[in-house]
Amino acid sequence: MREAAWKLTSGFREIPEVQHWLVEQAGRKD
């Protein structure tokens, strides 16, 4: 189950829009 979730999130992070969103989230934490 965990491996499937990891593959899903790994592929998800390859999407430019998602990468941009992750960068924004990381910036807000600071």
Residue pLDDT, tens place only, 1-30 = 688 887 777 777 788 998 898 899 999 876
Query: What per-residue confidence (pLDDT) applies to 30?
Result: 63
pLDDT at 24: 92
Q: Is the pTM of this model over 0.85?
A: no
DSSP secondary structure of 1-30: -HHHHHHHHHHHHTSHHHHHHHHHHHHHH-
